[in-house]
Structure 1
Amino acid sequence: MPKPKVSRRVSSPARSTNPPLSQTKPMSYQPLSALPGGAGDAASKAQQQPNASSLSCIANLTNTILGSGMLGLPFAFSAAGSVTGTLLLLVAATFSSNGLFLLSVAADKVGITPSKPSSFYSVAQAAYPPSTALIDFAVAFKCFGVATGYLITVGDCMVDAMKFISKEDSGSLLVIQRQFWIVLASLLVASISFFRTLDALKYTSMVSVVFVLAMTVVIILYSMGIEGMSPCKDYAPPDDDLEAVCVGEKDSFTTFESTMSNLAVFVFSFTCHQNIFSVCNELKERTQAKVNTVIFISIGAALLLYLLVAWSGFNTFGSSLQSDILLNYPQNGLVTTMRIFVALLVIFSYPLQLDPSRRCIITLINKLRKTPETDDFTPVKDDEEASTSKHSETDASINSKEPSPNSDGWGENVMFYGITTAFLLASFSLAMIVTSLGTILNVVGATGSTMVSYILPGLVYIKLFEAEDSWRKRGAMVQVAVGCVIIPVALYYIFHKD
């Protein structure tokens, strides 16, 4: 009796509760789009078990938020005026945290398991199936643009740092050429871009947060007028009125056009929504309360740092602030150290943009490979069969480190490594030939960031909880409405300023 029973569990599809069409699929099938980073082999299934601490998730999410955006935030703050800028930061932080909350609740509604982790794809597939390809493309495009901007930032920061260190400004030295630093940065980011979970990046994220704190302290010290730390000493001889030379007007309010042309910067500054799903997937002993804590601390920490940097930079330079605040400060050892910190910060932040982009690209490719009859199908098993399958997968994950070339997992590994390599090469190539993304990154912020952090979270929540009548749903509606206003207004003033 036991042997026939075991055989029926493993191979017979007769007990499946799915429609007859589903019986054409093997019981072990999982869609590639549901796997983090395309990691479909048995070894990676073991890694998918949620084991990340709250501190790890907070570090990664905070690092995703901060990136290099805080370098340009003081300029946008000044362009809007101190009062308007403060209000915009508070509003952007509020809407961003609400968007993260809506997505985390939607992910829980759809369901999260080690074999079927949550993603933008999974919640969009449950809410608006026809829109999944568009959503994946928007997230992938936005993350690719930001990652490429990181490489350009490394080139700019290290060239300026090396000019001070070498006392050479002619560009004849290799270390003063931006292409050299982009090549080196690409090699460094490649070494940390093939991890299958963001939890593996927790230490680099923690180091990045330390870099941000150090830069914040330096900016605050310069704003306090401490002796020996004059922010204007490179602008004119000591006998001149230095403040009149390097400090501009300190307006509480500016023009509507000036504020709107920099609106995308405030939206972009808090965008991290593509990685909230990694938090939901990897957080150990996950509850909504724990996820909310991660969101609150991450957004709160970023908001506090942004306010400190923006107000300190504004108090120091006023309307004379440049798009990169470090350009305002004198070329000395302390500021040069800050430039090196920023370069390391964005290098460590690069994989946090690559990971969600890779998942979305894998999903898009997987959709093209599937036929309509087999798209996004996961067989439903009864309790007995599910238990047997679970034990089988656990045994496989323990005993198998690498899949064979004939297995589905091997093909998924090829896709995982192939897409990662292609992403790295593409962003490297673009960074080598483009000296500044300028308007392109502004457009990405106005469109991609607004779509990812405002419109999509609201739409998904409204659809999945359409029978609900609560403050959450009304908040989701406001989120969508604000996003729909931001995109056209921000784009108009981006292209029509001056």
Structure 2
Amino acid sequence: MELQKMNGHSRDDGFDAPDAMAEHEEFLPHKTGGKKEMHFTDFEGKTSFGMSIFNLSNAIMGSGILGLAFAMSNTGIILFIILLVCIAILSAYSIHLLLKSAGVVGIRAYEQLGNRAFGPPGKMLAACIITVHNIGAMSSYLFIVKSELPLVIQAFLSKHENTGEWFLNGNYLIIIVSALIILPLALMKQLGYLGYTSGFSLSCMVFFLISVIYKKFNITCPLEDDHHNMTSIADYHPVVNETDDFCEAKLLTVNSQTAYTIPILAFAFVCHPEVLPIYTELRDATKKRMQAVANVSIMAMFVMYLLTALFGYLTFYGAVESELLHTYSRVDPLDVMVLCVRLAVLVAVTLTVPVVLFPIRRALLQILFPDKPFRWAVHIGIAFCLISFVNVLVIFVPSIRDIFGLIGATSAPSLIFILPGTFYIRIVPEDQEPLLSRPKIQAACFAALGFIFMVMSLSFIIIDWVTGESRSGGAH
């Protein structure tokens, strides 16, 4: 659940000085008895291989998992699997580029790689992209609170429908949750202890997956036994309800919503700002060992994503919503198992928001107040403004699909494709790998591929908005 974003960051504040000391170093020094340079390998990591896999899996796992069944419904099973495999492989290659770049210059912070590659503008660009992406992550988490918490309260009150009371209004509820839970946690100087919730968060998502698989065999297609939903489904997905085979699995399909698939998948695999801090904490850290951590983590999340998307899609077919949990309320709003899943996911995402806020504040401090001592007024002010901004965003954005789509189409390709590729080209010395060497040509093609993904996805999403196609999502 991206709970390791702060891991090791508290020691990053002084990295400009180590950067200056490492400026003339091309390779990381091996363990010798000579004088010590301040590289990230000087920090002795204590995290085991298995726990590092656990941490990175939590960094990958996020709210994007709730949108994968929707993505499959708009691509078909075969195309979705092809795209999921491609994004997973490309994410692993992207981490390879990051680790190679960090190994050359001895830097463990994403922003500092940008500074080494392109100077202060590169540092600011990386910080801004991380900020935008994490604001998108915060928004997606609060959107889940907005759409799911009213249903949980409604179920506890044994209400079969929302009767309009203020405590069933998601907009009021996210403000209350933000003020009473998220803001106090975000005001703490050190949020490291919240990393302990990562295990609970991942457990929640495993429980979510088990529930999705179980429900596949207990729910028939909505058109077969829930006729009162036919109108809402038709309004919800007019582009796919053109034939009578609405409850049949599509192996390959394309419609106006297909444009959201790559951004949703990219959003679900972003973990790159956390890779270097986790690398730092790894015991007996080597590039090969950390790459193995990344490969195992990506494979584990690939399996989890695929099973969630497949069983979620095969439960609701064309009626699946962009936030999968919300779809179950159309079958039985008072289902105890779904209620337990909702509660677990709500607690997990609520505790995640202040942790995701931490690297945003750190990036803003680097941009706005570089080399300034800690001040409580700035610390509190940034947290309050960020939470207020995200609340306004979530209240006025009509659908979580728009958050997944827009953030996935901009910051995700930048963090996965464009920045690692360009950093690699700029940082790896030419005497080690010439500009026209195969690795650098591959990195350039990789960055170009990310740019193409970004332009295409944004173009299709803007066309979808302009033409006024169906507005899907949890905001009903």
* Pairwise TM-score range, normalised by the shorter structure: 0.7 to 0.9
Structure 1 counterpart of 2:115:
125
1:492 Cα deviation (Å)?
A: 1.2
Given that 1:66 and 1:302 are in contact with CA atoms closer than 8 Å, whether structure 2 keeps it comes out as yes
Q: Comparing 467-476 with 309-318, which one deviates more in the overlay? A: 467-476
**Structure label with greater radius of gyration:** 1
Deviations 1:98-139 (A, max 9, x none): 212221222222214xxxxx2222111111113322222122
1:66 Cα deviation (Å)?
A: 2.0
Given that 1:32 and 1:366 are in contact with CA atoms closer than 8 Å, whether structure 2 keeps it comes out as no
Given that 2:148 and 2:326 are in contact with CA atoms closer than 8 Å, whether structure 1 keeps it comes out as no
Amino acid corresponding to residue 334 of structure 1 in structure 2 = M
Correspondence 1:141-290 to 2 at 5 A: 141-168=132-159, 169-172=162-165, 174=167, 177-193=170-186, 200-223=193-216, 225-226=217-218, 230=220, 232=222, 235-236=226-227, 248-255=247-254, 258-290=257-289
Q: 1:121 to 1:249 in 2, by over 3 A?
A: same
Structure 2 counterpart of 1:136:
127
Given that 1:33 and 1:121 are in contact with CA atoms closer than 8 Å, whether structure 2 keeps it comes out as no
Given that 2:191 and 2:355 are in contact with CA atoms closer than 8 Å, whether structure 1 keeps it comes out as yes
Deviations 1:234-269 (A, max 9, x none): 7149xxxxxx99953321111275533432111111
Q: Which runs of 5+ in 1 are unaligned?
A: 1-29, 36-47, 113-117, 238-243, 370-407
Deviations 1:252-295 (A, max 9, x none): 11127553343211111101112223213333442223322321
Given that 1:450 and 1:487 are in contact with CA atoms closer than 8 Å, whether structure 2 keeps it comes out as yes
Q: 1:430 to 1:259 in 2, by over 3 A?
A: closer
Amino acid corresponding to residue 212 of structure 1 in structure 2 = M
**SS, match of residue 250 in structure 1:** coil
Q: TM-score, normalised by structure 1?
A: 0.73
Amino acid corresponding to residue 171 of structure 1 in structure 2 = G
Q: Does 1:458 align with 2:448?
A: no
1:454 Cα deviation (Å)?
A: 0.9
1:410 Cα deviation (Å)?
A: 4.4
Deviations 1:320-376 (A, max 9, x none): 222122233222111122222221221233244223222211111145x7xxxxxxx
Correspondence 1:328-407 to 2 at 5 A: 328-329=327-328, 330=331, 331=333, 332-366=335-369
Amino acid corresponding to residue 462 of structure 1 in structure 2 = I
| Cα distance in 2 between the residues matched to 1:458 and 1:446 | 17
| Cα distance in 2 between the residues matched to 1:135 and 1:208 | 27
Q: Comparing 470-479 with 332-341, which one deviates more in the overlay? A: 470-479
Q: Comparing 190-199 with 146-155, which one deviates more in the overlay? A: 190-199
| Cα distance in 1 between the residues matched to 2:145 and 2:16 | 33
Q: Comparing 426-435 with 277-286, which one deviates more in the overlay? A: 426-435
Amino acid corresponding to residue 86 of structure 2 in structure 1 = V
Amino acid corresponding to residue 142 of structure 1 in structure 2 = H
1:456 Cα deviation (Å)?
A: 0.3
| Cα distance in 1 between the residues matched to 2:245 and 2:169 | 27
Q: TM-score, normalised by structure 2?
A: 0.76
| Cα distance in 2 between the residues matched to 1:281 and 1:197 | 19
Identity %: 25
| Cα distance in 1 between the residues matched to 2:349 and 2:152 | 15
Structure 1 counterpart of 2:235:
none
| Cα distance in 2 between the residues matched to 1:203 and 1:285 | 23
Q: Does 1:492 align with 2:455?
A: no
Given that 2:263 and 2:405 are in contact with CA atoms closer than 8 Å, whether structure 1 keeps it comes out as yes
| Cα distance in 2 between the residues matched to 1:482 and 1:414 | 43
Given that 2:114 and 2:122 are in contact with CA atoms closer than 8 Å, whether structure 1 keeps it comes out as yes
| Cα distance in 1 between the residues matched to 2:338 and 2:245 | 17
| Cα distance in 1 between the residues matched to 2:364 and 2:213 | 41
Structure 1 counterpart of 2:3:
none
Given that 1:148 and 1:431 are in contact with CA atoms closer than 8 Å, whether structure 2 keeps it comes out as yes
Structure 2 counterpart of 1:17:
none
RMSD: 3.1
